[in-house]
Structure 1
Amino acid sequence: MQTPVKFTNTGRSQFFATARRRVDTYFKENGISPTANFAMWFKTIFFLGGYGLLYGLIISNLFSAWTMLGLAVLLGIFAAFIGFNVSHDAMHGAFSSRNWLNKILSSSFYFIGANPYVWKLSHNIVHHTYTNIFGHDEDIDVAPGLIRLDDGERYRPWQRYQHLYALPLYSLTSLSWVFRKDFVKFFQKKIGQHANPRHPRHEYITLFATKAAYYFCFLVLPYLVLDLAWWQVALGFVVMHLVEGALIAIVFQMAHLVEGTSFPVPVNGMSIQEAWAVHQLRTTANFAPRSKTAAFFCGGLNRQIEHHLFPKVCHIHYPAITEIVKKTAEEFELPYLENPTFFSALHSHYRILKRQGRRELAEAA
């Protein structure tokens, strides 16, 4: 699979070589594996077990409609946390040194209605390589025509209000994923400018079979076993996904679409005048890096810099390697972007939305 964009400084930057050597030394000297440890297994059991328990309580038909709606909200939250904490690491091959175990845990992505094979193509390969490059990184094409994030994008009058309607729009992320996104990305010829491969036959079967199973478990089965009208089942399903979608979208936005992050434009549409690792530093930001709560629930996605540089390292180790990466970046006089809290990052993203929605600034650009 080929793409015209190249990082012309690849191999010349001493930053990543130094950071990687220091991180490797940390694991070696402390006798630690970069994969999952006991704490990581505890999180995995906690989130998967909680998800299963919540689903079972809903299907039990022992509760009132309002109680089941509250359980649906919690189920959406746990679905997002499974994606952050379990599926994400497994799909990057960071959970275990055993490929079969990573594959099994990657299947937890089906619990949120998404396809791990498609995710690996669009996220692991494209997003992690061409981060924040419009036309290539489709993960930042939040809502083309509705959300404007970069000076190079065409301005539309309704984007003046995008800071007001962005969050409701973000909430649709999970619903879009379940019913549309995986199918579109699976069959489109390119993801960004990256040629989509010829998919193995079994992936066609898996895509449709797992989607059908998900629709059955979350729409058909509840309608059959619960004392609810069809519209109540549909409402619970939608509410669950609105919560899940909002969490997924917001956590991603705060990692790449905040003040300070850049949106590089390839020279002549072909090259980025930067080493790949330096490009990651300029396009990625951490948030709430000292918050144990954020670390537990966000699956290390609050430390996106470390994740983008070391995607094969389990996120449970990010707190330990953060200081190594940050110190190395400072030594090489490179940016290391971070917002101290969740809400400061959210406010930063809000300011970008508001600024990019101003007509006068768009016309000046």
Structure 2
Amino acid sequence: MPYYHSKKFNVIKKLSFKKSTNADFSTTLKYRVAVYLNATGKDRFGNRAMLLKTTVMLSLYFIPLVIISFCSISQIWQLFVLFLISGFGMAGVGMGVMHDALHGTYSKNKSLNKWMGYTMNLIGASDEIWKLQHNVLHHSFTNIEEHDDDINAPFFLRFSPHAKKNRLHSYQHYYVWLFYGLSTISWITSKDFVRLNRYTKLGLVKSKSEYRRILFKIIFWKVFYFSYVLILPLLLTSFNAWLIIIAFLSMHFITGFCLSVVFQTAHVMPETSYPIPDGSGKLKDERLVHQLATTCNFAPRNKVFSWLIGGLNFQIEHHLFPHICHIHYKNLAPIVKQTTEEFGIPYHSYSSFFSALKSHAQMLRKLGSTSLQSTT
């Protein structure tokens, strides 16, 4: 397990999970999932269904951009509709294609995973920075303040009961939705550079040569991204530049909002825990139990919604088995739920996305109105 700097302890801490606690649960669950895969003749990777989804999402993303630049559209509403469609496609690529590829589950072919992972760069962000932020920090230390970057929010947002509170937070449940929509604007402009520097200081980027390689790669892909998404429409269409820029920002607002509400609703919830390590950097639960305590599912029976968001309504199954492609989660969910019930471990799930979103808003309000310092 890697080391991370913690302001709370003002030292470099190595966090670890208790291996003895609920060991029988983890062993049983892993065994049952393995039995299911063997009995059904399935492996843990994606199949042709992933190829169909990839085609649909990349088409939703790229075709409107091609039409904008090369098909001489003349109406302002056409410009905005096409950019907005592309925004939904971008979110679909992020949740249903890139996400699995960078977890290494899109295909058993490592080269295909690598190339599909580059779709992250095609939507304006860095695949390497994302893997550090998501695969390493978020999945390893879910809902642990100062370690999980998904809850390490800027000063005007508070996603953890252990984070410092200020007066602005009392209103965050009103304005957070705007910043959710702006999240990918930050990603394509500054966030990758900021995190590259931060992760270098944390020791996740091991050397100066690796730092330079990643930096060059970030710059190259961002230049390429802005060239075809923004510069081409500015050069090849007759629309005023300010209209194109507003339409471009609208596209990203759609993408940022979709991504943020799906990922944040899975963890910043009234039921989820925000564990803190003890003085020696140890957490009170075993790793899989920790993931169950800090994660929520939603809309498990909504097949269309699940398909559109890359199975991320089954966030519990994803956090328990990030090495398994999302197309299997709906079938793993009953196995996980049954096993948690047998061992008396909570399994947090909402029947619909809107009920989960409502609870997320309530949690944001609670975090903004209290200095709660729960350790559970």
Matched residues in 2 for 1:200 and 1:190: separation?
A: 7
**1:7 counterpart = 2:8:** no
Question: Once superposed, what is the RMSD of the aligned Cα atoms?
Answer: 1.8
> Deviation at 1:150?
2.8
**Alpha-carbon spacing, 1:295–1:237, altered in 2? closer, same or farther (3 Å):** same
Structure 2 unaligned regions, length at least 5: 5-12
Check the 8 A contact 1:87/1:106 in 2, yes or no. yes
TM-score scaled by length of structure 2: 0.92
**1:25 counterpart = 2:26:** no
User: What does residue range 184-263 of structure 1 map to in structure 2 within 5 Å?
Assistant: 184-189=194-199, 195-198=204-207, 199=210, 201-263=212-274
> Deviation at 1:228?
1.1
Q: Which amino acid aligns with 2:191?
A: K
- Name the counterpart of 2:8: none
- Higher mean C-alpha deviation, range 163-172 or range 57-66: 57-66
Matched residues in 2 for 1:304 and 1:364: separation?
A: 25
**Alpha-carbon spacing, 1:53–1:345, altered in 2? closer, same or farther (3 Å):** same
- 4+ long deviations beyond 3 Å: 193-196
Matched residues in 2 for 1:354 and 1:2: separation?
A: 33
Structure 1 unaligned regions, length at least 5: none
> Deviation at 1:189?
4.4
- Name the counterpart of 1:160: 170
Identical-pair percentage: 35
Secondary structure of the 1:101 match is helix
**1:325 counterpart = 2:336:** yes
- Name the counterpart of 2:10: none
Check the 8 A contact 2:162/2:373 in 1, yes or no. no
Q: How many residues align?
A: 361
Matched residues in 2 for 1:303 and 1:16: separation?
A: 18
Matched residues in 1 for 2:140 and 2:50: separation?
A: 26
**Alpha-carbon spacing, 1:65–1:357, altered in 2? closer, same or farther (3 Å):** same
Check the 8 A contact 1:89/1:95 in 2, yes or no. yes
Check the 8 A contact 2:83/2:251 in 1, yes or no. yes
User: What does residue range 147-186 of structure 1 map to in structure 2 within 5 Å?
Assistant: 147-186=157-196
| Residue 281 (structure 1) aligned to one of 277, 292, 297 | 292
> Deviation at 1:317?
0.8
**Alpha-carbon spacing, 1:247–1:156, altered in 2? closer, same or farther (3 Å):** same
> Deviation at 1:8?
3.9
**Alpha-carbon spacing, 1:19–1:157, altered in 2? closer, same or farther (3 Å):** same
- Higher mean C-alpha deviation, range 176-185 or range 200-209: 200-209
Q: Which amino acid aligns with 2:255?
A: E
Q: Which string of whole-angstrom CA distances, capped at 9 and with x for unpartnered residues, describes residues 259-296 of structure 1?
A: 10011011116110111111000001101111102211
> Deviation at 1:363?
8.0
**Alpha-carbon spacing, 1:292–1:14, altered in 2? closer, same or farther (3 Å):** same
| Residue 132 (structure 1) aligned to one of 143, 164, 171 | 143
**1:67 counterpart = 2:78:** yes
Q: Which amino acid aligns with 1:218?
A: V
> Deviation at 1:202?
3.5
TM-score scaled by length of structure 1: 0.94
